[in-house]
């Protein structure tokens, strides 16, 4: 009893204000500025204070010591304060207003988190830049003596950004001086929610009919806007196939834990949450940051200096992502503004059980605790005696390294912290950098700093004026020369020595998982037996041999979600000191150097594995999200593979092992077309977008004596609005497999056309197939996989293993012999399906067949038009591959060329512009002479060149001579673009030297025409002409090269073959002999 009494005496009462009967402290707190009111109360009560409302109370925490304790997610969980409960009326169980225990919170969190990772956010950068440029365009026309409301423009900016990046919706807020109606409706809803949180239910219901009507109208309007966005996306899925935004995630992604998608109502709630929380807080952050810089010229000058150094002084040159990430001081300014006035000014938690704070304050289970961030961030024990003063140096790397990471919480805590913080910081850093690059900002002399509160904070009526910065006000810095590190990839897979290779990851945002997959893919190429898994899957069963590569991040100082159990096990497991003596390993850590916890968890794993006897084969690598994330990984893994090749010797396998089935298929039966849902579409791997077909016409003559049996198509495509190209670029086309071939495969496996299936994976390796979701089998074969690739030797062996019939089994096994495989499979271009058609006794399962098929890859075509002639369209010239199969059985049809040939005007094709990164472009100086050699579709890039020359000529530009050697069979059969060439020749754009290989008995190819006109060709070369060769790499290109060597030796005196080779090599090095060729 004495001990109990003594213990009890240690508990202290929690300070509080005097209470009024019934209402408690309601009237002392209720106001339009509740945060600032509670801050004044906290000044009186100290680090902890209790505020009463009727029968309930909140406990306000203001000191670092207390806040750090309640950030322990094992003891405390997020609480929804009264204001958030009111907001739930219209945003429901969105990420910000859901209880952690609600199923939709975990589901949405799992689905949305990858969309806010470093790589995803980097993908939003062009759209952020577009919106920022809209603001700058408006500011460009503002007179220098005119004051305007900065906060209003920041609200427009952030609102438009979240709409465009998140949902591909253009609110176009800068098109009008009035705020967008959605913003008005949102502000009214938030302000009404603030008012209602102080009212009794009967007051809300009966005493404010006009306000209730206006509130309901606002909510209905917001719901309609959001529902329309969702409906538009669902009604036009093909229009948005290229979109990888928040809405696409919410509509298409499946929660890995439950296997479920988000329903439409929850998607509406999430969109409203993003539109409100995603713009209101960021606009306030920018407003506070600009205000403080205007009040502190010494810090403003540092910001100017950094912007001038990193972004440069050319305001017409838009910054790239890395430049914005390099604005470190700007980020310090933003963080300091968030410290003093965090725009989400508080977060609330509750204890899961009765507990004691700081060893002296008893707290009941589920008692609301409120972390008052502006007070907490001014704790002098952490921030010093000048904690109330604005100073970006508080976030210098040195200062951050010295502070506890829990001392700064502007984005909330733990798993309930804001998932959009990287998005918000990139958006804010970009805008502040662009504004400071261009403008000086100033406040009215009489401006009085006030803060407006809704559920967030922002400066009230922040009026500013701007003036353009002058050249003498800028600093000029020398720019360092960038360097790049390239990874030397293995050219061909090595033998399977089957050494275990574990690629383990801890990842919330997906980057670490992606890196682990890349390691596993490369390891497989090097002959390892690779496995990819989350760290938590290895709890209690750590591999004891082979090689272990761990890629992980640190999440708020703790492990990622899928590594928390592994961390706990590794911390507590009783393992002998030599438990892992046969295991070698390396670790790669992902994170952000702006946080003190950078590399904390990767470093712990690295050190712990060493103490357990594992051999650190390669030093731990680090990727910093605030620097070049991918380059760090590429550079690190380059060194890793060199070490692994030496360490393991990469021995060839001694025997073939039969692979286990990679996939399990759940057959869902036949679904009538009217009842079918939309099948998942392939992941956008290349940035492809839908290009509309404008024209698709045949270029060969199909009539008369010289009617062609072959086909070349001229296809004109409309460019998507955000796509441009340069003359000489390529177009990557992602085709669709032939419906006829797909139907044959379905018949071979006795699968109906309308059958649906769900795929699950039996091995943890990357796949391009859609997992754990229904998909139509015919669409699976149409859009996801290559069907006509030659079978590999390993696949032939798998077919043999799946065949019981002795004669057919022996024949398949015989095809695995080196010579037989080359002669009968490779040279005849036999696919797995070709072999299945021949060997009907083979009983390969459809699951194993799918596992053999690689992802459908893009095909590239030279763009045969000039952007100078038409900015809205491009053309390609496609030779349609349809010829007798090398096997002698039937007709072989090229996948992409036949797909393109069948497209009608108005249809779309998935494509993207590909810069070939070559010098195969027009001379920079139009007067430079040109020699072009291009038979057949090899003429395609030259058509673009000539169209551009014609456009330049029309503009009055002087052109150098151009000579085209074009080859075809017969002038009446396949002389493509003949009339167009004749017109350009008449205009002096080009001189054409055609070579016809079937006009006479003597075949005449482009190399023969070159030789016949060698005097003219040599004159061009002596005038400094550029030589371009495009077409077949196997026959034409070598023959043309040999002809140029022969011309040189003929035109020069006593020149050896070696000297001729040196001459042509020199032309190549000088970019005067350029080739663009493909395998035939």
Could you say which DSSP state residue 24 is in?
A: B
Q: Is residue 1030 flagged as an active site residue? A: no
d(CA 550, CA 504): 5
3-class state of residue 231 by DSSP = helix
Note the Cα 801 to chain centre separation in Å: 41
Nearest Cα to Cα of residue 409 among 45, 113, 68 = 68
State both tokens at 427: 């958006």
d(CA 771, CA 847): 13
Tokens 């809300």 identify what position? 204
d(CA 410, CA 373): 7
Name the catalytic one among 281, 282, 429, 782: 281
Name the catalytic one among 159, 290, 408, 418: 418
d(CA 169, CA 176): 17
Residue 92 CB neighbours (<10 A): 18
d(CA 559, CA 563): 6
Contact criterion met (CB below 8 Å) for 551 and 503: yes
Helices 297-310, 421-438: axis angle to 10 degrees equals 90
Rg (CA), the chain: 34
Residue 258 CB neighbours (<10 A): 11
Residue 750, burial from CB neighbour count under 10 angstroms (0-12, 13-18, 19+):
exposed
Contact criterion met (CB below 8 Å) for 95 and 105: yes
Cα dist from 514 to 32, 511, 765, whole Å: 48, 5, 11
Cα dist from 987 to 142, 946, 949, 950, 954, whole Å: 49, 11, 11, 8, 10
H helix or E strand, kind and range, residue 7: helix 2-8
d(CA 896, CA 879): 10
Could you say which DSSP state residue 789 is in?
A: S
Name the catalytic one among 96, 246, 395, 411: 411
3-class state of residue 67 by DSSP = helix
Could you say which DSSP state residue 1068 is in?
A: H
d(CA 35, CA 30): 10
Contact criterion met (CB below 8 Å) for 486 and 480: no
d(CA 659, CA 765): 13
3-class state of residue 1071 by DSSP = coil
Report the length, in residues, of the chain: 1080
Phi, psi of 195 (to 5 degrees): -70, -40
Helices 118-140, 421-438: axis angle to 10 degrees equals 30
3-class state of residue 409 by DSSP = coil
Strand-pair category, 1026-1032 with 1073-1078: parallel
Note the Cα 1009 to chain centre separation in Å: 49
Work out whether the CA dihedral 150, 152, 155, 161 comes out positive or negative: negative
3-class state of residue 286 by DSSP = helix
3-class state of residue 990 by DSSP = coil
Could you say which DSSP state residue 1023 is in?
A: T
Q: Is residue 1044 flagged as an active site residue? A: no
Tokens 């952050």 identify what position? 285
Nearest Cα to Cα of residue 926 among 1026, 858, 842 = 1026
448 Cβ contact partners less than 8 Å away, ≥ 6 residues apart: none
Q: Is residue 418 flagged as an active site residue? A: yes
d(CA 150, CA 154): 6
Residues serving a catalytic function are 281, 411, 418
């Amino acid at each position: 009893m004495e001990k109990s009494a003594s213990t009890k005496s240690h508990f202290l009462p929690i300070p509080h204000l005097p209470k009024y009967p019934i209402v408690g402290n309601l009237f002392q707190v209720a106001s339009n500025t509740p945060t600032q009111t509670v801050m004044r109360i906290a000044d009186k009560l100290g680090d902890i204070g209790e505020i009463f409302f009727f029968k309930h109370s909140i406990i306000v925490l203001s000191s670092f010591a207390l806040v750090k304790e309640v950030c322990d997610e094992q003891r405390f969980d997020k609480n929804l304060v009264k204001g958030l409960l009111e907001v739930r009326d219209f945003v429901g169980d969105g990420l910000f207003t859901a209880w952690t225990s609600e199923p939709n919170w975990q589901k949405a969190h799992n689905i949305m988190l990858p969309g806010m990772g470093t790589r995803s956010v980097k993908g939003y950068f062009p759209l952020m830049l577009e919106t920022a440029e809209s603001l700058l365009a408006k500011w460009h026309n503002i007179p220098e003596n005119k004051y305007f409301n900065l906060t209003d423009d920041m609200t427009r900016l952030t609102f438009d950004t979240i709409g465009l990046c998140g949902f591909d919706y253009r609110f176009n807020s800068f098109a009008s001086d009035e705020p967008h109606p959605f913003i008005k409706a949102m502000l009214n809803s938030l302000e009404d929610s603030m008012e209602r949180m102080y009212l009794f239910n009967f007051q809300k219901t009966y005493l404010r009919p006009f306000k209730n009507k206006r509130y309901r109208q606002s909510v209905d309007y917001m719901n309609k806007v959001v529902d329309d966005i969702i409906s538009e996306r669902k009604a036009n899925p093909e229009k948005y196939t290229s979109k990888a935004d928040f809405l696409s995630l919410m509509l298409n992604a499946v929660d890995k834990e439950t296997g479920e998608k988000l329903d439409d109502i929850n998607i509406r709630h999430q969109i409203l949450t993003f539109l409100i929380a995603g713009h209101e807080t960021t606009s306030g952050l920018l407003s506070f940051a600009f205000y403080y810089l205007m009040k502190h010229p010494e810090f403003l000058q540092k910001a100017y200096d950094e912007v001038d150094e990193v972004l440069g002084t050319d305001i017409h040159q838009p910054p790239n992502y890395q430049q914005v990430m390099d604005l470190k001081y700007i980020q310090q300014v933003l963080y300091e503004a968030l410290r003093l006035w965090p725009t989400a000014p508080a977060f609330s938690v509750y204890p899961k059980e009765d507990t004691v704070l700081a060893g002296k304050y008893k707290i009941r289970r589920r008692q609301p605790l409120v972390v008052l961030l502006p007070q907490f961030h001014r704790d002098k024990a952490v921030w010093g005696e000048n904690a109330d003063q604005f100073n970006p140096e508080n976030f210098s790397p040195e200062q951050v390294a010295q502070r506890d990471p829990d001392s700064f919480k502007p984005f909330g805590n733990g798993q309930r912290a804001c998932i959009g913080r990287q998005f918000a910081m990139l958006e804010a850093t970009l805008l502040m950098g662009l504004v400071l690059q261009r403008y000086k900002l100033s406040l009215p002399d009489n401006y009085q700093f006030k803060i407006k509160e809704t559920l967030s904070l922002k400066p009230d009526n922040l009026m500013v004026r701007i003036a353009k910065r002058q050249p003498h006000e800028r600093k000029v810095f020398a720019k360092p020369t960038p360097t790049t590190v390239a990874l030397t990839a293995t050219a061909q897979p090595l033998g399977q020595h089957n050494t275990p290779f574990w690629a383990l990851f801890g990842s919330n945002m997906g980057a670490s998982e992606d890196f682990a997959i890349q390691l596993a893919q490369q390891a497989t190429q090097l002959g390892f037996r690779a496995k990819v898994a989350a760290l938590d899957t290895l709890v209690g069963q750590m591999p004891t041999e082979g090689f272990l590569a761990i890629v992980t991040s640190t999440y708020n100082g703790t492990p990622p979600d899928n590594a928390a159990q592994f961390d706990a096990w590794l911390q507590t497991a009783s393992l002998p000191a030599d438990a892992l003596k046969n295991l070698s390993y390396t670790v790669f850590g992902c994170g952000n150097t702006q946080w003190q916890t950078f590399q904390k968890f990767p470093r712990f794993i690295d050190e712990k594995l060493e103490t357990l006897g594992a051999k650190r084969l390669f030093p731990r690598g680090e990727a910093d999200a605030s620097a070049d994330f991918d380059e760090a990984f590429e550079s690190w893994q380059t060194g890793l593979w060199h070490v692994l090749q030496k360490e393991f010797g990469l021995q060839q396998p001694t025997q073939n092992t039969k692979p286990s089935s990679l996939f399990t298929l759940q057959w869902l039966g036949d679904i009538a077309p009217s009842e079918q849902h939309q099948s998942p579409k392939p992941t956008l791997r290349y940035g492809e977008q839908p290009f509309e077909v404008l024209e698709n016409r045949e270029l060969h003559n199909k009539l008369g004596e010289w009617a062609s049996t072959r086909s070349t198509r001229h296809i004109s495509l409309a460019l998507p609005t955000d796509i441009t190209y340069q003359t000489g670029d390529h177009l990557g086309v992602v085709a669709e497999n032939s419906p006829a071939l797909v139907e044959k495969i379905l018949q071979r496996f006795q699968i109906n056309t309308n059958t649906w299936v769900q795929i699950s994976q039996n091995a943890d390796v990357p796949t391009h197939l859609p997992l754990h979701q229904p998909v139509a089998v015919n669409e699976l074969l149409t859009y996801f996989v290559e069907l006509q690739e030659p079978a590999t030797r390993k696949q032939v062996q798998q077919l043999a293993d799946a065949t019981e019939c002795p004669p057919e089994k022996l024949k398949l096994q015989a095809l695995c012999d080196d010579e037989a495989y080359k002669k009968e499979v490779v040279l005849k271009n036999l696919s797995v399906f070709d072999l299945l058609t021949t060997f009907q006794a083979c009983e390969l399962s459809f699951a194993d067949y799918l596992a053999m098929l690689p992802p459908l890859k893009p095909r590239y075509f030279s763009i045969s038009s000039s952007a100078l002639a038409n900015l809205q369209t491009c053309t390609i010239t496609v030779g349609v591959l349809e010829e007798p199969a090398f096997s002698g059985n039937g007709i072989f049809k090229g996948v992409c060329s036949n797909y393109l040939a069948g497209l009608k005007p108005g249809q779309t094709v998935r494509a993207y512009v590909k810069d070939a990164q070559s010098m195969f472009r027009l001379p920079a100086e139009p007067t430079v002479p040109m020699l072009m050699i291009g038979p057949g579709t090899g003429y395609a890039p030259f058509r673009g060149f000539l169209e551009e020359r014609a456009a330049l000529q029309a503009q009055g530009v002087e052109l150098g001579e151009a000579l085209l050697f074009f080859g075809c069979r017969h002038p009446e059969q396949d002389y493509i673009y003949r009339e167009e060439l004749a017109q350009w020749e008449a205009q002096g754009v080009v001189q054409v030297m055609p070579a016809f290989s079937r006009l006479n008995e003597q075949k005449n190819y482009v190399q023969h025409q070159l030789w016949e006109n060698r005097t003219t060709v040599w004159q061009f070369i002596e005038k400094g002409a550029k030589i371009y060769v495009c077409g077949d790499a196997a026959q034409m290109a070598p023959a043309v090269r040999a002809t140029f060597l022969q011309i040189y030796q003929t035109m020069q005196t006593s020149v050896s073959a070696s000297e001729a080779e040196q001459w042509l090599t020199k032309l190549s090095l000088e970019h005067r002999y350029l080739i663009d060729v493909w395998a035939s």
